[in-house]
Amino acid sequence: MPTRNVPVRLSLGSEQPTQATVVIADWTMLERLRRGAMVLGLAWGAAGFSIVIPVLHFVLPPILLLLGPILCVWRVLTRSSFKEGTGPCPRCKPERTMTMGGKVEPETNVFCDGCGNQLTLKLQS
């Protein structure tokens, strides 16, 4: 899994924006297929397990059987994803490491562990 550090700008309302960096993981095709197969296995395994739960066995198995392939395709199509961000929060200032996840977007939201505010993270190209 090759990773790269990308500069970003953290902003929060009227506070002075700060510079930070995020680590982005670029998934290889094999890793993407492995991640897709893992989520498919989990969804279908949970569907198989939920058959023995009374009442819920009418709802959960069909939902999980449909959700598995959808999540699998989503994971296979995700070429890169955020791993973590490091930088000073615009409000509480100290350098923080924020765990992140999800597909790489030009703009996303992260939460500061110190003050709990939702920060806007913008990639700088």
Residue closer to Zn ion by CB (options 26, 95) is 95
Nearest distance from C-beta of residue 64 to Zn ion, angstroms: 38
Interface with Zn ion by CB under 5 A: which residues? 89, 91-92, 112, 114-115
Q: What's the chain's length in residues?
A: 125
Residue closer to Zn ion by CB (options 45, 114) is 114
Residue closer to Zn ion by CB (options 50, 117) is 117
Nearest distance from C-beta of residue 22 to Zn ion, angstroms: 16
Residue closer to Zn ion by CB (options 102, 116) is 116
Nearest distance from C-beta of residue 89 to Zn ion, angstroms: 3
Q: Please count the other Cβ atoms lying within 10 Å of the Cβ belonging to residue 50.
A: 17
Nearest distance from C-beta of residue 79 to Zn ion, angstroms: 30
Q: Which residues contact 34 (CB under 8 A, 6 or more apart)?
A: none
